Chain A
Amino acid sequence: MAVTTGVLGPRPTGLWARRLSAVVIFAGAVAVLLPLAWMLSTSLKPESEVFRAPIEWVPSTVRPENYREAVSLVPFWRYALNSLIVAIPVVVGAVVSSTAVAYAFARMRAPGLRWLFLLVVAAIMLPGEVTLVPSFLLFKELGWVGSYLPLTVPAWLGGGAFNIFLLRQYFLTIPREQEELARVEGHSFLSILLRVIIPQSWPAISVVAALEFVHVWNDFLGPLLYITDQSKYTLPLGLNFYKDIYNTQWAHLMAASLLALLPCIIVFFLAQRAFTQGVVLTGRR
């Protein structure tokens, strides 16, 4: 997306007005970065200096050992691995599943399909609380509580109403000529999806993958309900557990939290263009 430097809109014509808005924008950016800078600063301080007032942004003694200690106070790498074990099938499942479903909604004709798509849109707005308890009972009946199945299997069943919606909207913008040609040549829908549609849709697909990764990596309620065994804790559960034990060790807690956020920050920078566009496209919260 080409970035236009706002020649549109009711822009203040005066130079001072533009300067003033630049100052406000920069101040806002600093305010946004402040919590993360504070997190980094705290994570490098000795615990004894954490509470010092007034604020010290640069620790007088930098203590990188906090990180080494933080990952051994709790089995941090075990939790990180567990998070990955959940995240990979969820991201793959959501991408595969929502691509197939979205393609059908975008390109195929069948009785009732439009009506079903309205259900997809309605499902986006459905508050998760309504299905929380009975879903738990269902997974309990299936004997899945305590395993990762309640967290991973649903991703393969449609991949989320929101992702279907996003991909369908994207597929609709792809010109049909190439596809129609392939149809005439006798290619199946599946082969058209794989050879024509998907190669043109990587921006939208990476949005889905990035959003889904960030979502599953940070998910707390799901693991809280379904993971009972401490050795199976994902990072969010592990961090919460960490907080309950080492409540006042802020330097170590911030070191562990920052490490836990790192994969999301990396994914964010890797998929940044796709990510920001995806959020703009869709307004997902």
Chain B
Amino acid sequence: MPTTRVRRLTASQREAVVAYWFISPWVIGFVGLTLGPMLASLILSFTDYNLVSTTGTSFVGIENYRKALADDPLVMQSLRVTSYYATLAVALDLVVGLALALLLNTGFRGIGAIRTIYYLPAAVSGVAVSLLWLWIFQPSGGLANGLLELVGLPAIDWVYSTTWVIPAFVLMSLWGVGRSAFIYLAILQRIPTNLYEAAAVDGAGPLRRLFRITIPLVTPAIFLNLVLGIIGNFQTFTQAFVISEGGPANASLFYTLYLYRNAFRYFRVGYASALAWILFALLLALTLLVFRSSRRWVYYEAGAPGDRS
């Protein structure tokens, strides 16, 4: 029977069967490792499920959410820490990355070697790099204070100071700014010269050309970096775990670190699931906000740049 049925399929039906067959691993993965777990975590977030508890699990309604948002100062602390870090890291990545791209676009020679150097931090990350920065930020003997001393500035306690721990992490993230710079550069190099020639004929100065031509044309890349930067930086974990362990005095208690502790150190699975969904809702809202606002500031090449006033 099956053979005759297969034979009766039209060409397009056969193509559809092959297509589903090709994507089936992804479908299994998406259902089993993304959609399923998401739903499971939503359900768990309304329970007091505990990995080591012996008393059994019961539904507690919105208790986990209420506790997280009203009764747990560490949730607010971790949100504060994480958004402070993400804001600084994303903003600096954007400004420095774009500035660097503009400099690289000035007819700079030897770009191949420079590109390699600026990209190198993108190839290395994780624990080894975190250990390197932990050493750099050592108050005595570390490179950071060594350089400050060289220019006559007082030493800083960096990752051991509640004030400086987040700026230290931001500095570390800025090390990888070359990646954004080359994304911007790739776009800058595609801007047609005649746009600038026309602007020059109209008597537009360099600054005017920058704000009227260059920046509008790179806004799609800025938008992409903004969305991915917000989401990526809200997931900061390894650095925080290895370098500062959330300290001092919870000054670097990143959200993911706190979630990890709840789930895998205190075994509060229900509570950790609620924390995950709070983060998800927050990031979704932020992303939608950026998407909505993008209509007003992201320029897509639908018309001439002059169309946009």
A residues at B contact (CB < 8 Å) = 3-12, 17-18, 21-22, 24-25, 28-29, 32-36, 38-39, 42, 50-55, 97, 100-101, 103-105, 108-111, 113, 116, 119-120, 123, 125-138, 154, 156-159, 164, 188-189, 214, 217-221, 224-225, 235-237, 239-240, 243, 250, 253-254, 257-258, 260-261, 264-265, 267-269, 272, 275-276, 279-280, 283-285
Contacts and interface: CB of A to CB of B under 8 A. Distances in A.
B102 A53 contact: no
A12 B127 contact: no
B248 interface: no
Contacts of B134: 243
B100 to A, nearest CB: 7
Contacts of A136: 263-264
A176 B104 CA distance: 37
A133 B41 contact: yes
A8 B123 contact: no
Contacts of B29: 154, 157-158
B108 A130 contact: no
* Dominant secondary structure at the A interface: helix
A154 B30 CA distance: 10
Contact of B141 (A53, A138, A225, A275): A53
7 contacts: A6-B107, A97-B25, A104-B18, A123-B30, A159-B25, A189-B22, A218-B127
Interface in B1-30: 12, 15-20, 22-23, 25-30
Given A25-B103, A110-B17, A264-B124, 13 more contacts: A11-B105, A51-B141, A53-B141, A109-B19, A129-B279, A157-B33, A188-B18, A214-B124, A218-B129, A221-B260, A236-B126, A237-B127, A250-B135
Most interface-central of A129, A156, A164, A250 (chain B CB within 10 A): A129
A136 B44 CA distance: 13
Interface in B140-189: 140-141, 143, 146-147, 149-150, 175, 178-180, 182-183, 186, 188-189
B264 A8 contact: no
B65 interface: no
The 3 closest A-B pairs by CB, nearest first: A157-B29, A158-B26, A218-B126
A28 B100 contact: yes
B173 to A, nearest CB: 10
A11 B30 contact: no
A245 to B, nearest CB: 13
Contacts of A284: 228
B40 A134 contact: yes
Contacts of B40: 134, 137-138
Contacts of B115: 276
B221 interface: yes
Contacts of B133: 35
Contacts of B95: none
A130 B22 contact: no
A9 B195 CA distance: 9
B131 interface: yes
A138 to B, nearest CB: 7
B37 A129 contact: no
A188 to B, nearest CB: 8
Contact of A104 (B22, B120, B287): B22
B12 A109 contact: yes
Contacts of A220: 126-127, 237-238, 241-242
Which of A32, A97, A235 has the most C-beta atoms of chain B within 10 angstroms of its own C-beta? A32
A8 B188 contact: yes
Given A3-B112, A189-B22, A253-B131, A127 B107 contact: no
B128 A257 contact: yes
